Amino acid sequence: MPVQPNHQTVPTPAGAPGANGEHGPLGAQDVLGAFYEVLHRRRDVRAEFTGGEVPTEVLRRVLAAAHAAPSVGLSQPWDFLVVRDEATRRAFREHVQAERSVFAAQLDSTQAETFSRIKIEGILESSLAVVVTYDPDRGSPAVLGRHAIADAGLYSVCLAIQNLWLAATAEGLGVGWVSFYREDFLRRLLAIPGRVRPVAWLCLGPVRHLHQTPDLERHGWRKRMPLDDVVHYERYGQRPSR
């Protein structure tokens, strides 16, 4: 899909090289190494949140990074709802726990035993939540590049989420994407208009540490597939001989 970056000035994080003019610019290899280090350090956080404060300027940088994502037709179809209220978070957690039970009831005994050890959310342990939504009317009716792929706007929101996640990781924060919820429930809870789709409840905050291995892999739910198993050449299913 054709995407356009949303250009804006984003402040360099305090303490980063070049932030106050006291350091020279990072070399290309330094930037490349730092980028890949953040990319691979990123985790879906559950139990590691400390509940510590997220400084206003840090939250602003993280949201600015999300808002800098590319979007189909420069539609920028996202909104970010910052949720701190404990009563709201408790109500959402109760709903999530009910949905956990629904999912657990569908599992066989082996899967259910594995799932019982997996924590699926850090709603109350995290400092706050950022709920990311998708507004399909943003930029309508002529959204450049969306006429043939209706979900292109939704894909744009996912790019914003990934930007947010990587920026938070670079800031030393953790993010946990909670997906055990019904969209209509979250609409009612946060007064989201009917046309707007809640895409993600993201738990956000400082963490004690980030595990080297993702939670689901550590608990034996699934393992990451080798890269060569998901790369095809010229036609789907066509791979070089190994």
3-state SS string for 91-158 = HHHHHHHHHHHHHHCCCCHHHHHHHCCCCCCCCCCCCEEEEEEECCCCCCCCCCCCCCCCCHHHHHHH
pLDDT (mean) for 117-143:
97
Tally of CB atoms within 10 A around 58: 18
pLDDT at 23 over 60: no
Cβ atoms of 132 and 204 within 8 Å: the answer is: no
Sign of CA dihedral 169, 175, 177, 183: negative
What the block records as the tokens of 212 is 């080297």
pLDDT digits (tens, 9 = 90+) for 145-199: 999 999 999 999 999 999 999 999 999 999 999 999 999 999 999 999 999 999 9
DSSP state of 160: H
Q: Which positions ≥6 away from 198 have C-beta within 8 Å?
A: 131, 132, 133, 183, 186, 187, 190, 192
CA separation for the pair 167, 13 (Å, rounded): 10
Angle value at C-alpha 130, between 125 and 134, nearest 5 degrees = 145
Q: Where residue 7 falls among pLDDT bands split at 50, 70, 90?
A: very low
Query: Which of 192, 186, 81, 75 lies closest to 137 in space, CA to CA?
Result: 75
